[in-house]
Amino acid sequence: MTVLSQLAQRRLTLFSVILITLIMSAALLAPVIAPHEPDMQFFDGLTIEGAPLPPNERFWLGTDLLGRDLLSRLIYGARTSLIIGIVANGAAVLIGAIVGITAGFLRGVAGAVLMRFTDLMMAFPALLLAIVLAALFKPSLWIVALVIAMVNWVQVARVIYAETVSLSERDFIVAEQSLGASPLRILLKHIAPHLVSTIVVWATLGIATTVLLEATLSFLGIGVQPPTPSWGNIIFENQTYFATAPWLVFFPGLAIVMLALGFNVVGDALRDVLDPTLKGRH
């Protein structure tokens, strides 16, 4: 059975794939499907007292404290989340894989130094480290992506390192070595292909972690800066209104949960399908 058909058999996974596809299409087609301009402050977007409007026929999910259409901001915010999720996490997985493979393949002093540095980075709480790094730079979309990549590569490095070490001790690698294969050939032909499934799993799960970290940084006011909409900074901007205008927290919150949930479920399912030792746990 192929990986795809195994994934499709699980209802929750199928639901998650659809969810991710919907959010991705919304992000790609944002200018076409968004009912309004995301930064447009509507004259009729606030009550006479100046409070945000609840969901209604004109503004489907209501308006925010500046009278902007929440749905349109959420659709454009999906771009922010996905760009950071894919770019920052892609960079984190790349750094982690390079560090892990290098340390696991070279071992010796170089490997030990790399892994002790990884252990050291593990000691820092991800959010606080990201806060410090974000404070060192002027926050922008790309800086936030960079900061998240600098924080999130650590776990990937550890997993890939452990995998590379255990692979290089297996009989078929030892046999290759005694046949006189060059280290580069062993690395590219025999070790790297076995790491692909681990990398795929972590690349998927990592997007969920990244989306959550971006939302949290933006909620604390040190992530993506308004007026660029991000699901985290929409809540940050509107949180003082949550008692009277709960939709301003509920809808962006739901969007974050759905996107992170989607990638967590798919990543978890991929791990089950790609790792034969986990068979029978479900």
Which listed residue (136, 180, 184, 276) binds other proteins by CB under 8 A? 136
Sequence-separated contacts (24+) of 23-30 with Cβ below 8 Å? 23/78, 23/82, 23/255, 23/258, 23/259, 23/262, 24/78, 24/82, 26/75, 26/78, 27/75, 27/78, 27/79, 27/81, 27/82, 30/75, 30/76, 30/78, 30/79
> Does 253 sit near other proteins (CB under 8 A)?
yes
Residue 180: phi and psi, rounded to 5, are 95, 20
Of 30, 34, 67, the closest CA to residue 48 belongs to: 67
Smallest distance, Å, CB 46 to other proteins?
A: 21
Which listed residue (22, 120, 174, 175) binds other proteins by CB under 8 A? 120
Please identify, among the stretches 87-95, 100-108, 179-187, 209-217, the one whose residues bind other proteins according to the rule CB under 8 A: 209-217
Smallest distance, Å, CB 154 to other proteins?
A: 12
> Does 212 sit near other proteins (CB under 8 A)?
yes
Smallest distance, Å, CB 243 to other proteins?
A: 5
Please identify, among the stretches 87-95, 127-135, 160-168, 196-204, the one whose residues bind other proteins according to the rule CB under 8 A: 127-135
Question: Which is closer to other proteins, CB of 38 or CB of 267?
Answer: 267
Beta strand ranges found along 71-185 (DSSP E): none
3 state SS of 163: helix
Smallest distance, Å, CB 180 to other proteins?
A: 33
Point out which residues pair with 69 in neighbouring strands: 63
Smallest distance, Å, CB 146 to other proteins?
A: 15
Q: What is the DSSP string of 205-264?
A: HHHHHHHHHHHHHHHTTSSSPTTS--HHHHHHHHGGGTTT-THHHHHHHHHHHHHHHHHH
Question: Which is closer to other proteins, CB of 216 or CB of 228?
Answer: 216
> Does 129 sit near other proteins (CB under 8 A)?
yes
Instruction: State the binding string over 3-42 for other proteins (x if CB under 8 A, else -).
Output: ---------x------------------------------
Handedness of CA 82, 83, 88, 90 (dihedral sign): positive
Burial label, 4 (beta-carbon count in 10 A; 0-12, 13-18, 19+): exposed
Smallest distance, Å, CB 216 to other proteins?
A: 6
Alpha-carbon separation of residue 56 from 152, 155, 255 (angstroms)? 40, 45, 19
Q: Which of residues 229-248 bind other proteins (CB under 8 A)?
A: 232, 235, 239, 242-243, 246
Please state the length of the chain: 282
Question: Which is closer to other proteins, CB of 101 or CB of 154?
Answer: 154
> Does 281 sit near other proteins (CB under 8 A)?
yes
Tokens representing residue 184 in the block: 């580069």
Please identify, among the stretches 33-41, 54-62, 95-103, 119-127, the one whose residues bind other proteins according to the rule CB under 8 A: 119-127
Q: What does the binding site for other proteins look like in residue numbers (CB under 8 A)? A: 12, 116, 119-120, 122-129, 131-133, 135-136, 208, 212, 215-216, 219-222, 232, 235, 239, 242-243, 246, 249-250, 252-253, 256-257, 260-261, 264-265, 268, 281-282
